[in-house]
């Protein structure tokens, strides 16, 4: 397993130095943040609504760890030139929100990715952004498609076939079942049903893929 800083540096825009700076602020024990939203709020990357009577103003930045916020927005700037989902997201938001607000939004996305990397049982990035990518279309959808293809290639190499060939069919089956199961488990408000969905999906995959 890669050291923590090197694992974070795999995220687009996050250099090894930025990864160390992020870890210096969050620590290695992410269990103190119950959800990704808690982590983003702690960094001051959750927009704060401002309203006076019937009038609403643009949301402002929240209070939080300015060092962590700065590292994440700097990472977002680095991701802007990459051909990844984060890069496409930042460029799209920049056209709509302006540079600084777009960098904060992309920085929040980076923190969400970091939290989910340390909580694999709590979510899946491919499942989490699938609906948004489908609705948005255009470059974002194209970027999401490339990310899915990369994920499928990794799964195919990991699964493989008895004859040594990559398991493309098994990879598509695995990712499709998991994304569907995760999306459904997240949507229901019955924890037992959510657990049953995930357990049955895992059992079905084992039966279909394992020799």
Per-residue model confidence (pLDDT) at position 121: 53
**Same domain, yes or no: 143 and 68:** no
**Same domain, yes or no: 34 and 74:** yes
Domain of residue 156: give its range: 125-209
**Same domain, yes or no: 104 and 133:** no
Per-residue model confidence (pLDDT) at position 209: 65
- DSSP assignment of the chain equals ---HHHHHTTSTT--HHHHHHHHHHH-S-GGGSSSHHHHHHHTT-S-EEEEETTEEEEEEPPPS-HHHHHHHHHHHHHHTTSSSHHHHHHHHHHHHH-HHHHHHHHHHHHHHHHHHHH-GGG--HHHHHHHHHHHH-HHHHHHHHHHHHHHHHHHHHHH--TTS---HHHHHHHHHHHHHHHHHHHH-S-HHHHHHHHHHHHHHHHHHH--
**Same domain, yes or no: 99 and 134:** no
Per-residue model confidence (pLDDT) at position 56: 47
| Integer CA distances (angstroms), 211 to 82, 87, 152, 172, 205, in order | 39, 40, 20, 17, 11
The CA R_g of the chain, rounded to the nearest whole Å, is 19
Alpha-carbon span 24 to 206, nearest angstrom: 39
Give pLDDT tens digits along the chain (211 positions). 458 888 888 888 999 999 999 999 998 888 888 887 888 889 988 765 444 555 545 545 556 788 999 999 999 999 888 887 788 778 878 887 788 888 988 888 888 888 877 765 555 566 666 766 777 667 778 878 887 887 787 677 666 544 445 578 888 888 888 888 888 887 888 888 988 998 898 888 877 765 5
Do the Cβ atoms of 84 and 143 come closer than 8 Å? yes
- Please give the tally of structural domains in the chain: 2
- Spatial neighbors of 15 by CB under 8 A, at least 6 apart, are 9, 75, 78
Task: Give the domain-ending residue among 120, 135, 154.
Answer: 120
**Same domain, yes or no: 113 and 131:** no
Per-residue model confidence (pLDDT) at position 1: 44
**Same domain, yes or no: 137 and 38:** no
Place of tokens 């079942």: 177
């Amino acid at each position: 397993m890669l050291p923590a800083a090197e694992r974070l540096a795999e995220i687009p825009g996050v250099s090894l130095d930025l990864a160390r700076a992020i870890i210096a602020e969050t620590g290695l024990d992410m269990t103190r943040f119950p959800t990704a939203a808690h982590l983003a709020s702690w960094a001051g990357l959750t927009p704060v609504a401002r309203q006076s009577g019937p009038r609403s103003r643009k949301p402002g930045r929240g209070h939080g760890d300015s060092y962590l916020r700065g590292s994440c927005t700097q990472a977002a700037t680095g991701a802007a030139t990459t051909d990844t989902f984060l890069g496409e997201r930042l460029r799209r938001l920049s056209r709509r929100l302006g540079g600084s607000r777009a960098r904060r939004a992309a920085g929040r996305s980076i923190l969400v990715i970091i939290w989910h990397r340390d909580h694999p049982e709590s979510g899946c990035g491919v499942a989490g952004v699938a609906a948004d990518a489908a609705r948005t279309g255009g470059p974002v959808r194209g970027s999401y498609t490339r990310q899915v293809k990369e994920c499928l290639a990794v799964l195919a190499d990991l699964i493989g076939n008895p004859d040594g060939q990559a398991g493309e069919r098994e990879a598509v089956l695995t990712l499709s079942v998991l994304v569907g199961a995760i999306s459904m488990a997240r949507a229901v408000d019955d924890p037992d049903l959510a657990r049953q969905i995930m357990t049955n999906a895992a059992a079905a995959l084992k039966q279909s893929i394992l020799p």
